[in-house]
Structure 1
Amino acid sequence: MKVNIAIIMGGFSSEHQISLLSGQNVYVQLNREKYTPYRVVISTEKWVCLDDTDKEYPVNKADFTVEIGNDKVSFGCVFNAIHGTPGEDGLMQSYFKLLGLPQTSCGYYQAALTFNKRDLLSVLKPYGIKSAPSCYLNEGDRINEEEIIKKVGLPCFVKANKAGSSFGISKVYTKEEIQPAIAKAFREDNEIIIESFLEGTEVSVGVITYKGATKVLPITEIVTENDFFDYEAKYEGKSQEITPARISDTERAHVEQYAKLAYEVLKMKGYTRSEFILIDEIPYMLEMNTTPGLTEQSILPKQALAAGLSLSELFESAIEEALNEK
């Protein structure tokens, strides 16, 4: 008997439109012999299920069901394709946990932790996973540019602490640029992280659970035409994403080691994609994404294809893991 799969997409953040593309690709790729997929768009205004003509049917939030015509549709599993809040910060995970409904991404604690860049890096530090020197600001804190420069140097990165797709991030070269960059980051989040610029090779690596085991996917090297891997570089063709990465065997082994270590230390499931800067063969972690992009142009699907997995197999692996966990 086929399982009804709700593919949740959209969300409340600046990544809403990108998430719709990820969710649509999952919808297209899922094996119809095993699953009956439904697209569920979640926004601050409404939760709706779309039929093939894009007609909207309201979702009952009390039990996550939907009435389509004379039928009440319930779901055997939720495929989480929401980037940012509420799909990547633990809110949806907690909701489905309370309903007892299996879902494909990590648990609510892991989602909340990894969505907070500064908390994630602090938790992983005792395990030997290095990160850039940094300092933190909360909205309303006193801003002392001299202290920031003394701590992290110039150039540096000013980032929204809880945001994805490079929203709210600036590379800062001068003292005068610090205040505008902080204001930009605060438009995305009320917490920010300011990090030293690390000169090295940027790589991205997906880690998944596949057939019950942790699997590290082929590493991607990021070469951007812009000053850093910003939104334009990620989504508007201003970068090269080279898989497998042009790095040494030693560098590859170190990235695989620390990406797998982070995944297992945090008791992850489903997909993660971690970003590192390689300096003198040592990986420095930037962040970990727990609902990475899932379009055909996204990094993790390309890594899966390089590993010999079709997108159908990639998406099915997360669903089966969630169903087996239940």
Structure 2
Amino acid sequence: MKKNIAIIMGGYSSEVDISLKSGNVVYNNISKDSYNTYKIHILKNKWVLVDDNQHEYPINKHDFSAEINGKKLNFDCVFNAIHGTPGEDGRILAYFDLIGLKHTSAPFYQMALTFNKRDCLSVVKQYGIKTATSYFLNKGDEINVEKIISKVGLPCFVKPNNAGSSFGISKAKTVEEMMPAIKKAFNEDSEILIESFLDGREITIGVFIYKGNIKVLPMTEILTENDFFDYEAKYLGKSEEITPAQISDELHKKLEAVAIKTYKALNMSGFSRSEYIIVNGEPHFLEMNTVPGLTTESIIPQQAAEAGISFPELFHNAIETALNN
């Protein structure tokens, strides 16, 4: 009998529209011969199953089931396509663990850890993984711009601690730009992270469990028209993504080793895409995305295609890994 797969998408953050696109790509590319697939919209005001005719059926939060034409529908596995909260920060995954429902992401604690940029950096530093110099602020803290700049320098990046798709991020080049950047970041989150500018090539690397083993996908170099890889660069064509990255064998081996080390250090499973800046030949870890974009334009699918892994195979592998976990 075919397994019932719930593809959750949407979420409660600024990334809701991107997540809906990713979720629909997953839905359209999972083999209907192998699984029964269902689109589930997880939104602030409703959790609903949406069929191909746009009819909505409420999700029973007691056991994450739905009732369609008088028949109860239970799921065997959840494919997590929610960027941001509550999918990428682990919240809904803790709920699935409580009700015994399998899912394609890492355990909820690992998801929460990687979503919190400063906690994630604190862990990887203990493993000798290089990072930018950073300064943390909580909403309500005294803001001493001079003290911040003395630590991280200028230019620097000001970013929400818990947000994705580059929402709320600014590159501050002058003292005058610091406070507007801090306010912008606080609009997205009550915790912010200020990091020194790393001047170097940006490489993003997909790592996931493939057929039972950790697999590092072909790497991508990001060349952006903007000051950094912001929302426009990611989604509105303001960047060039070169896959595979044109790097030396020596640098490739170094990046592959640090990508695996980071994945293991964070006790990850499921999908991940991590960003590195190469400074003087050394990779510096920026952050890890555990629900990376899965649209046709997204980086993970580009890298998988370069590795000879199709959309259906990519998603089939994620589901089978979850079911067999």
1:56 aligned partner:
56
**Residue 137 of structure 1: SS of its match in structure 2?**
strand
State the shift of 1:252 in Å.
Answer: 1.1
Structure 2 CA distance for aligned equivalents of residues 75 and 64 of structure 1: 8
Structure 2 CA distance for aligned equivalents of residues 192 and 184 of structure 1: 10
1:207 aligned partner:
207
Structure 2 CA distance for aligned equivalents of residues 21 and 59 of structure 1: 21
2:106 aligned partner:
106
Structure 2 CA distance for aligned equivalents of residues 260 and 227 of structure 1: 29
**Residue 164 of structure 2: SS of its match in structure 1?**
coil
| RMSD between aligned residues | 0.6
1:319 aligned partner:
319
1:237 aligned partner:
237
Code of the aligned partner of 2:32: R
2:180 aligned partner:
180
Matches within 5 A, 1:116-135: 116-135=116-135
State the shift of 1:17 in Å.
Answer: 0.2
List structure 1 segments (4+ residues) > 2 angstroms apart after TM superposition. none
TM-score (ref. length: structure 2): 0.99
Structure 2 CA distance for aligned equivalents of residues 148 and 20 of structure 1: 38
Matches within 5 A, 1:31-110: 31-110=31-110
Structure 1 CA distance for aligned equivalents of residues 170 and 153 of structure 2: 14
1:246 aligned partner:
246
Structure 2 CA distance for aligned equivalents of residues 189 and 265 of structure 1: 26
Contact 1:130 1:283 survives alignment (8 Å) = yes
Contact 2:123 2:266 survives alignment (8 Å) = no
1:266 aligned partner:
266
State the shift of 1:71 in Å.
Answer: 1.6
Contact 2:50 2:57 survives alignment (8 Å) = yes
Identity of aligned residues (%): 62
Matches within 5 A, 1:273-284: 273-284=273-284
Code of the aligned partner of 1:58: P
2:151 aligned partner:
151
State the shift of 1:254 in Å.
Answer: 1.2
**Residue 27 of structure 1: SS of its match in structure 2?**
helix
Uncovered stretches (5+) of structure 1, i.e. residues with no partner: none
Structure 2 CA distance for aligned equivalents of residues 261 and 93 of structure 1: 24
**Residue 103 of structure 2: SS of its match in structure 1?**
coil
Structure 1 CA distance for aligned equivalents of residues 3 and 297 of structure 2: 27
Structure 1 CA distance for aligned equivalents of residues 185 and 56 of structure 2: 34
State the shift of 1:265 in Å.
Answer: 2.1
Code of the aligned partner of 1:196: S
**Residue 23 of structure 1: SS of its match in structure 2?**
helix
Uncovered stretches (5+) of structure 2, i.e. residues with no partner: none
2:196 aligned partner:
196
